[in-house]
Amino acid sequence: MKKIKLTIDGMEITADADANILDAAMENGIYIPHLCHHPDLKPVGACRMCEVEVGGRNVMSCLTPVADGLEVKTDTPAIRAARQMNAELLIANHHQECLSCGSSHHCELLRVADSVGVNGDRLMHLTPRAELLPIDTSNPFFKYDPNKCIACGICVRTCDEIVGLGVLSFIERGNRTVVGTFADKPFIESICESCGECVVRCPVGSLAPKRTIRPSHEVQTTCVYCGVGCGIYLGVKGDRVVSVRADGERPSNQGSLCVKGRFGYNFINHPDRLTTPLIKKDGEFVEATWDEALDLVAEKLAPYKGRQFAALASAKCTNEDNYLIQKFARAVMQTNTVDHCARL
């Protein structure tokens, strides 16, 4: 990729020749406030928070391509005033309960308000949204609170550009504009596949997972559900898996996941899960030791080696378990008839 040089606030930076000013700035560690821009999506210039000055004119940095020798100013009085006003209008129309919002630790609106400064007096005189809109909790994995929606359109574009389903669009007009499904139906009645791609990109927690336990650390691994090999980070707290995050560096999924990979991890620590072997005696399952169970299985399987035996592995086992079952089928049971439930 051809590189070009430009200056931002007097500092010379190098950028890809096809970048826009916002991406070039962020790439070089310069923060320009923004709300509707996401690196995975085409820029649309909807929030107007990213204004900068180029050649004496205010332009939106997410829509303006870089050019050799370009001089960009990100912090003039006119830009500060415009950004502050934009932020105040958005905050006035946003829900007022930041402290109880599960997304406040990664809310882009808070970050933007922090960086541009907000005039509290002026904010008091702006009219907040009149009525509270109902929160849609119909989806089993995430909820949608339209009162927090800032109409950045990131979820709409994610569903269009990345998922290719087009479940979401803008509904209503003016300061009543929010995102909704076709005919404003609950998510569960729409064609949404619950992949959660919109949820992980929502900058303000309007779309948010129902389970929100913050992990103490993450473990990089591969999703077991099918053969695509999506990279994931399992979030762990104590001895429990409490979250899943897509690995943006894995070529097979590039930061995306399906509903199973993203939300289908409750079974790991589910209280109904069997943790002790059971053996049927007189028509009843009774608890047994692992030695008893393994001896019984070995004795029963031994007569069925070769063509009489097939192994069906499970997506709810670890990758290591799945490796072992195919090894067991081939090396011990002498068959290549091995399959996995993900292909059903």
Residues of the shown chain interacting with ligand FES in the complex, contacts defined by CB under 6 A: 34-37, 45-50, 60, 62
Using the minimum distance from each CB to ligand FES, give the nearer residue, 41 or 226: 41
Helices 77-92 and 108-116 sit at what angle, rounded to 10 degrees? 140
Instruction: Using the Cα atoms of residue 325, residue 330, residue 334 and residue 339 in order, give the sign of their dihedral.
Output: positive
Beta bridge partners of 54: 57, 72
Task: Find the shortest distance in angstroms from Cβ 90 to ligand FES.
Answer: 11
Distance CA 137, CA 264 (A): 18
Q: Which is nearer to ligand FES, 60 or 329 (CB)?
A: 60
Backbone angles phi, psi at 284, to 5 degrees: -120, 140
Smaller CB distance to ligand FES: residue 50 or 257?
A: 50
Contact 294, 301 (CB under 8 A): no
Rounded least distance, CB 53 to ligand FES, Å: 14
Integer Cα distance of 62 and 13 in angstroms: 17
> In this complex, which beta carbon is closest to ligand FES, that of residue 44 or of residue 228?
44
Residue 255 Cβ, how far from ligand FES at the closest point, in Å?
19
Rounded Cα gap, residues 2 and 68, in angstroms:
11
Measured from the CB atom, is 60 or 178 closer to ligand FES?
Answer: 60
**Residue number, 49 or 313, with CB nearest to ligand FES:** 49
Bridge partner residues of 220 (DSSP): 233
What is the nearest approach in angstroms of ligand FES to the Cβ of residue 2? 24
Task: Return the sign of the alpha-carbon dihedral for residues 318, 321, 323, 325.
Answer: negative
Which residues lie below 8 Å from residue 171, measured CB to CB, with a gap of 6+?
177, 178, 179, 180, 184
Return d(Cα 245, Cα 232) in angstroms, integer. 6
65 bridge partner residues: 20
Nearer Cβ to ligand FES, position 34 or 262? 34
Closest approach, Cβ 198 to ligand FES, in A, equals 17
Nearest distance in Å: CB 228, ligand FES: 32
Question: Cβ of residue 112: shortest distance to ligand FES, in angstroms?
Answer: 10
152 phi and psi, to 5 degrees?
A: -75, -25
